Structure 1
Amino acid sequence: MNIPPGQWRLDVMIMALYQMALFFSAQLVFVIFLEYMPKTYCNTDRYCYKLESKCLEHYDKNQKNICLIPNGTKSQFDECVEEKKYLYFRSAQYDYQQDCTSLTHYSASTNMYLGVLFANLVLGILADKLGRRPIYFASIGIGVVSLILSAAIPSVTAFYIFRFTTGVGVAGAQIVGWSYGSEMISAKRRFQLRTFSNWANARILVVFVAFITREWHTASYVCAVISALIFPILWKLPESPVFLEQKHRIEQANEAREQLADICGLEYEAKEVAVINNLKKITFMDMWRNPRLRKNFLVLCFMWFYVGMATYITDLNGADMSRNLYVGQFLSGLLLTISKIIFGFAEPRFEWLGRRTVFLFSQAVAIVAYILILIALFTNNKETTWYLIVYLCAYSFQALSTETCYLSVAELIPTDVRVTVAAITNICLRLGTIVASLTKPLKFSFEPGLFLINLVVCSIGISVVYFYLEESRNANLQNVGQEDVSSSEKDNSQKTMLGEDSKEVSGDSETGKEVKNFDHRIPLNSVSHLSIDGDVILNHVQWGGKYYPVPYESGIAADGLVPGKTLVVYATPEKKAKKFNINLLKKNGDIALHFNPRFDEKGNGFMCAKPTPGSVVRNSLVNGEWGNEEREGKNPFERLTAFDLEIRNEDFAFQIFVNGERFASYAHRVDPHDIAGLQIQGDIELTGIQVVNNAAPVQE
């Protein structure tokens, strides 16, 4: 892995920070404990009965004491009473009995979800305007204080008010925390940010806190103290350079990158100002007007809604997946953690394991699990071991599909509106969870209905994702949407070719469509200057020679490209170029040098220094077998930007220069005197080829 060792310092900090944010977000799961009620209850008269709802007074008054067993002994009665009155966790519902009042249709979970929903309406816009870091600080501060006050003030009104504002912190942790983390961590670790530091770890820790405290007040205080660890980590880190550069706050961005380089123990390298200034500002309406970005946005909104709904229906109704409350909760978190870590290790090693693949696989497993759950419920096999296993798979793989939701928001949405869209999609998720919380009555009236809903919704969802979700693995977050908005604004390049038939042919450089013919009025050889005037934004002017067909293949004149000669190539990568390659061929067809810039891969760039948009692979093909790849160096090529490439053949190596700057050296793996051919392929417009030596150039 070509990430400098020092980069791990930053990656580990970001992962730790995000794990703490997820732990605080797990207050959404803690509502399971806040609303927990035992199945049975024994009053002070040792009368034990089975509860028919979450209300202590809701039972059949004509029912006999369930501990009165015919011919039973006193010791058996005492044991039964102890068992039936045992309380796994003393919840807010047990203390306040709020579901038995006028709040029966406004549960603690619904209250918190509405708090998150409200905060999403505000925090996304603020984080895109003011910055990720200050909004992150403020929202977590509000959340931690509210969490403490919700337990400290002995009032159901205060409980509801401060649990609502705790939702503000949860929203900040989820949308601002994720956007900040995804922009700060190295691209190859972005998937691991959602797998190594994950929701399941947070869930296990919350369950452990509940297990050791056994009551909701103390558990709330412990959760607040652990969540406060976010502050020293965030204090050490700067604002996201990606955000600062998108806002053209160049001096602050350089200071942020310099601070990150210091954290990593690496030498700081400033990013070119021109690259930052070329970044276009993208508003929400710019995104909406572009068909591709609009489609991505709508698909993401639907994904977040239905995944949130299905996940929370499964989660909120899983308290009785096993007879012991803690066993089911621990196992569901453990299985989810294991599955995420497996995917986290596998993703960098398998190119085919993209965002779509993870989603489609996890969703397909969840659908199969829902079918098996329905079979278990209809055949009265709910309390069996295989039901527990299937339920754990349903929850774990349904929750695993949320990884694609988070990653796709970061990788398919432009920086200027990334947190705003993350907030909107999170609102969609909250709407889904609110709908999920409203299905709770089905738990007691028709439990299979819960999973019939999931089965139908997830079947529709997997189809939508299969047909419409784009793959976004290894996306450069800073470039997301830049080309799409340029296209929608008709920021079109024009090219003028001076034909040999004494005509000028003007056309659109993107489509190749001819726009206008213009007969020469003066001799072509008398043209010496170019003048451009008027209401136009001029990005660049390129003067090229003849245009060559691509793919291009030719022999090299005279003795070939022997030591002492240089190949010069003039070209421009296409707007949506993925890769191109230049091959120097031996007479027998072996490739002496395979020079292969790739735009759809991440190179050696990382957050602590200057980012790189892609990689450049060098290799040789000898006797039908490829050798070891060389990838060192930053990718100097940019789409739609002309370049000149020099490959100098020297006695011991090829010396490679791009735009006059030394790029790399490639030691010979074959006889350097036997290079007789040239091959150029890929997504480029080829405008010039020369072989030069110490004498005059030889035009190919």
Structure 2
Amino acid sequence: MAGYNLNRFHLLVLVTWQFSIFFAVQQIFPIFLNYVPKWRCEENSTSDFKWSDMKKISYNLKENLGLLNINNKKMYFNNSEKLFYTPTDFQLYSEEYEKNCQVFNSCPENFLIFKSGEFFSAALDFKWICDNDSSYIVSIISMIQFFGVLCGTVFYGFLADHFGRKPTSFFILSFGIFFLVASAFLEDWRYLLVFRFVIGLCNGGTMVVLFAYMNELLLSEQRMALRAFVNWGNARVATTIICYLFPSWRMASIACGIFALPAIFILIIFLPESPTWLYNKKKFTEYRDALKYISSLSGDGPEPEIDNIDKNTEVNIKKVWTNKDLRQRLLVLGFMWFTASISSYTNDLNSSSINDNFFLNQILIASFIAFSKVLLGIVDLYHPNFNRRNLHHHSQTAVCICFGIVAGMLLLKYNGTFLMVFNLIGTICIEWTWDACFLCAIESMPTPIRGSAVGMCSLIARLGALMSPIIAYLSSIYAPSAYIVLSCVGFLNLISSYKWLPDTKGVDLNEVMEALEMVEGKEKDDLIVVSQPKVSPLH
């Protein structure tokens, strides 16, 4: 990554962001919380995955964590299960593993065999399987965390714009990690719902506030490195490995929380408040101090000379709606985020598993995402003319083409290898559209409202995600329908962004509003004016 002009300070910023994503990836932890393998009823089995044995493992873990006492033991095991077959029970026997609730509810626990015991999830722990409330609980635990993410993106965005990036980031990470670790000690699933909501709240803040904070600490040419080399795919691989090494949702929650702690330590000890935020809040003494500190920590020579500081333009959230260019940018960005969200979530809900092995499946998905991000970083590094508009337009075009082909294959009832290949290519390209969404949002909005604006974009994205189950359901009525909808929405997004999305690659985050004012009222192309920063303290 030599081409990115990285020094010690930049590396600290990148490492902080990667550990922050390790926490933010809790957004997909319900995959592990709700995991239930297939089962069958088998007499005199020697399997290691009997339901009765797995319940004992769960009990022992709770006892080690101090959650149970001896009086709970009878209550925990003496449920109304049968211990022996009756003649009518032999119809329950099957050689196939499947999720058959009649078998689960009727088969004795010492004869009920799971296909695997790779991970002891909350669904197994609290027995969210085949009862009247199980489907509701499994759905609500994902929805409640998702609703937390939706609220957190807006709430913490406003806090960060008002109180500063560093204190808000510290609160988000420390509060979220505390609740993540504490959730492992809960005995009642109702409290778990509350804790996962709080975790989701902090996940939303991480993706908005910390991403803006880290971008403001980097040079303009390093922003792609923040998306390419430290990324969601890496964090998802790490989370999967942690869950493999600690195959219980309780121990995995503790391990994931501990694994994310370095982000807090680096933030407290090494990172200053964002100079960009200080500059726009007219805290010029603190601004100079932050620049000098960054220069000394980077170890790249003498302190920078700081020019006279001009007055910065006053901007508040109302300015978004009164300024034509800002309003236009926010609407275009909002539709971009909506399209990326509805495409990714619908595709996830509508895609088949790559492999029957639970952990291998998760590793493969995460690895493809991580590889695609690195590939994007290499392209950006060696092709300077590959700007933000190109990134979004090429990626969105590929998504439309791939999903259009997938829809055609489903229409022809083709289910071969090429279906998976085009679906996978579309999935990778959706990840690239997300990169364009984040980078364009950060670079298009003035510093005083950057957190709030990105939060609003993220809120719009969550609305798209809420619609994705409905679109995925359409495929059960007419198989190609989901991909037809995604292709059409993507095509509309492509037209919108082609006409109105500005290219912001290399923009000085301090002077976004000034650049807008320079071109306001004039005829202009889709490109914005990119000004040079008054000082480049991070070299």
Return the offset for 1:64: 5.6
- Counterpart of 1:243 in structure 2 is 277
User: What amino acid does structure 1 have at the position aligned with 2:439?
Assistant: L
Q: Distance in 2 between matches of 1:287 and 1:207?
A: 41
Select 2:485's aligned residue among 447, 450, 453.
Answer: 453
- Counterpart of 1:345 in structure 2 is 378
The structure whose residues are more often strand, as a share, is 1
User: Residues 115, 4 of structure 1: CA spacing in aligned structure 2 closer, same or farther, 3 A cutoff?
Assistant: closer
User: What amino acid does structure 1 have at the position aligned with 2:395?
Assistant: S
1:25 aligns with 2:59: no
- Counterpart of 2:264 in structure 1 is 231
User: Residues 149, 282 of structure 1: CA spacing in aligned structure 2 closer, same or farther, 3 A cutoff?
Assistant: same
Select 1:253's aligned residue among 287, 290, 302.
Answer: 287
Return 335-344 or 136-145, whichever deviates more. 335-344
Is the contact between residue 33 and residue 123 of structure 2 (CA under 8 Å) also seen in structure 1? Answer: yes
Q: Distance in 2 between matches of 1:370 and 1:62?
A: 46
The structure whose residues are more often helix, as a share, is 2
Query: 1:377-392, aligned counterparts within 5 Å?
Result: 377-378=410-411, 382=415, 384-392=416-424
User: Which digits, 9 at most, give the CA deviation of each residue in 1:287-331, with x for residues without a partner?
Assistant: 321111110011111111221121122234446233333333222
Select 2:221's aligned residue among 188, 204, 211.
Answer: 188
Q: Distance in 1 between matches of 2:90 and 2:409?
A: 32
User: What amino acid does structure 2 have at the position aligned with 1:340?
Assistant: K
User: What amino acid does structure 2 have at the position aligned with 1:606?
Assistant: S
- Counterpart of 2:454 in structure 1 is 422
Return the offset for 1:190: 0.9
Return the offset for 1:172: 2.0
1:67 aligns with 2:95: yes
User: What amino acid does structure 1 have at the position aligned with 2:303?
Assistant: Y
1:121 aligns with 2:158: no
Specify the structure having the higher radius of gyration (Cα).
Answer: 1
Select 2:498's aligned residue among 440, 445, 466.
Answer: 466
SS of 2:39's equivalent in the other structure is strand
Return the offset for 1:232: 1.4
User: Which digits, 9 at most, give the CA deviation of each residue in 1:376-429, with x for residues without a partner?
Assistant: 5455554x5444333322222111210111101111100110001011111112
- Counterpart of 2:126 in structure 1 is 96
User: What amino acid does structure 2 have at the position aligned with 1:107?
Assistant: I
Query: 1:67-466, aligned counterparts within 5 Å?
Result: 67=95, 85-98=115-128, 100-101=132-133, 104=136, 106-235=139-268, 236-265=270-299, 266-272=301-307, 274-275=308-309, 277-318=310-351, 320-378=353-411, 382=415, 384-437=416-469, 448-466=480-498
Is the contact between residue 337 and residue 457 of structure 2 (CA under 8 Å) also seen in structure 1? Answer: yes
User: What amino acid does structure 2 have at the position aligned with 1:90?
Assistant: F
User: Residues 292, 135 of structure 1: CA spacing in aligned structure 2 closer, same or farther, 3 A cutoff?
Assistant: same
- Give the TM-score normalised by the residue count of structure 1: 0.63
- Counterpart of 2:40 in structure 1 is 42
Q: Distance in 1 between matches of 2:186 and 2:283?
A: 44
User: What amino acid does structure 2 have at the position aligned with 1:470?
Assistant: P
SS of 2:228's equivalent in the other structure is coil
User: Which digits, 9 at most, give the CA deviation of each residue in 1:84-128, with x for residues without a partner?
Assistant: 632343222233355851871842221111011122232111100
Is the contact between residue 157 and residue 454 of structure 2 (CA under 8 Å) also seen in structure 1? Answer: yes
Is the contact between residue 192 and residue 344 of structure 1 (CA under 8 Å) also seen in structure 2? Answer: yes
SS of 1:229's equivalent in the other structure is helix
Q: Distance in 2 between matches of 1:480 and 1:131?
A: 19
Is the contact between residue 292 and residue 537 of structure 2 (CA under 8 Å) also seen in structure 1? Answer: no
User: Residues 306, 340 of structure 1: CA spacing in aligned structure 2 closer, same or farther, 3 A cutoff?
Assistant: same
Same amino acid, percent of matched pairs: 24
User: Residues 286, 487 of structure 1: CA spacing in aligned structure 2 closer, same or farther, 3 A cutoff?
Assistant: farther
User: Residues 17, 362 of structure 1: CA spacing in aligned structure 2 closer, same or farther, 3 A cutoff?
Assistant: same
- Counterpart of 2:511 in structure 1 is 479
User: Which digits, 9 at most, give the CA deviation of each residue in 1:225-278, with x for residues without a partner?
Assistant: 111111111111100001001111011111111110111113212423x42x42
Query: 1:594-609, aligned counterparts within 5 Å?
Result: 600=530, 606-608=536-538
- Give the TM-score normalised by the residue count of structure 2: 0.80
User: Residues 213, 226 of structure 1: CA spacing in aligned structure 2 closer, same or farther, 3 A cutoff?
Assistant: same
Return 323-332 or 26-35, whichever deviates more. 323-332
Q: Distance in 1 between matches of 2:498 and 2:224?
A: 20
Q: Greater relative contact order (Cα 8 A, min sep 6): structure 1 or 2? A: 2
User: Residues 602, 346 of structure 1: CA spacing in aligned structure 2 closer, same or farther, 3 A cutoff?
Assistant: farther
SS of 2:273's equivalent in the other structure is coil
User: Which digits, 9 at most, give the CA deviation of each residue in 1:37-71, with x for residues without a partner?
Assistant: 32x312575799xxxxxxxx9xxx997633189xx
Return the offset for 1:353: 0.7
Q: Distance in 2 between matches of 1:95 and 1:44?
A: 22
SS of 1:373's equivalent in the other structure is helix
Q: Distance in 1 between matches of 2:342 and 2:212?
A: 22
Q: Distance in 1 between matches of 2:371 and 2:508?
A: 28
Return the offset for 1:34: 1.8
User: Which digits, 9 at most, give the CA deviation of each residue in 1:413-447, with x for residues without a partner?
Assistant: 00110001011111112222232255565676666
Aligned length in residues: 479
User: Which digits, 9 at most, give the CA deviation of each residue in 1:25-46, with x for residues without a partner?
Assistant: 11112222222232x3125757
Is the contact between residue 4 and residue 221 of structure 2 (CA under 8 Å) also seen in structure 1? Answer: no
Q: Distance in 1 between matches of 2:27 and 2:470?
A: 15
User: Residues 483, 474 of structure 1: CA spacing in aligned structure 2 closer, same or farther, 3 A cutoff?
Assistant: closer
User: Which digits, 9 at most, give the CA deviation of each residue in 1:123-147, with x for residues without a partner?
Assistant: 1111001100000000111110111
SS of 2:303's equivalent in the other structure is coil
SS of 2:464's equivalent in the other structure is helix
Structure 1 unaligned runs (5+)? 49-56, 70-80, 491-509, 512-574, 580-598, 610-700
SS of 1:606's equivalent in the other structure is coil
Return the offset for 1:9: 1.1
